[in-house]
Amino acid sequence: MSLNEEMGETPDNHDLGKLTRWYEGLLSDTENSFPVCALFLASGGDRRAHNIFRIYRSAFEELEAGFHDLVIFGQHGTSSTCNALIPGLGLSSLEIPSLILICGGEELVLHTTNLPWGELAGERTEEDGDGVPWRQALELIKESVVKGSVLALDEVKGLKRVDIPGGTLTDTVGAVKLLVEAA
């Protein structure tokens, strides 16, 4: 049993709390100033994916993004929230760990990519090089925010685009939240 579980904090409780905070942040964001929401789905043992999340968190903090612009689920173990987000976002399947970059507008546009998993031995590998989709996307996000330009992720090789017609990210996250709470 982990320390979190001993204290009554299970992966399900933790991620449901985070889902609630994400939803509330989306509800309160009237400016929509940040061009993307980066969603990480991982499991407790995905150290390399957690390290990539930390790289995104540092960059997003420098760019003054809000909590609701960068969220990770499954950090303390697989959860029902993490599992519900995949179909809830209209994805038929997705390997964990993954990064989902969500752009709003008239319809939701998701760009997904698998992330390397397991332990990082301390050395940089090809999966972590400059040409990998997660790093290329981050560079485009930075450029978009700094220049105030439109974010164009379609040019990143290795990102899979998924269009979700109708609805907003806030509505979608709210529906997933209701589903998880009812389970």
Per-residue pLDDT tens digits for 111-130? 999 998 765 544 445 456 66
Measured torsion, CA atoms of residues 68, 150, 61, 98, in degrees rounded to the nearest 10: 60
How many other C-beta atoms are found inside a 10 Å radius of the C-beta of residue 17?
A: 12
Asked if residue 97 has a cis previous peptide bond (ω within 30° of 0), the answer is yes
CATH of the domain at 126: 3.40.30.10
- Tell me which residue range forms the domain holding 118: 3-26+34-182
Per-residue pLDDT tens digits for 47-65? 889 899 999 999 999 999 9
* pTM of the predicted protein model: 0.88
- What sign does the CA torsion over 12, 18, 72, 91 have? positive
Alpha helical stretches, state H, 3-132: 3-6, 11-28, 47-62, 80-88
Q: Percent of the chain having pLDDT more than 70? A: 85
pLDDT value, residue 57: 96
Question: What does the pLDDT average to over 2-17?
Answer: 68
- Per-residue burial over 60-84, b if 16 or more Cβ lie within 10 Å, else e, is beebebeebbbbbbbbbbbbebbbb
pLDDT value, residue 29: 77
Q: Percent of the chain having pLDDT more than 90? A: 55
Q: Tell how strand 70-73 and strand 37-41 pair up.
A: parallel
pLDDT value, residue 37: 95
pLDDT value, residue 137: 97
Distance CA(32)–CA(26), nearest Å, equals: 9
Per-residue pLDDT tens digits for 128-162? 666 899 999 999 999 999 999 999 999 999 999 99
Instruction: Specify the length of the chain in residues.
Output: 183
Structurally, how many domains does the chain consist of?
Answer: 1
Reported as a pLDDT band with limits 50, 70 and 90, residue 32 is low
pLDDT value, residue 126: 44
Per-residue pLDDT tens digits for 62-100? 999 998 999 999 888 888 998 899 999 988 888 889 999
Tell me which DSSP letter residue 94 carries: -
- What sign does the CA torsion over 50, 53, 55, 57 have? negative
Q: What is the mean pLDDT of the chain?
A: 85
pLDDT value, residue 177: 95
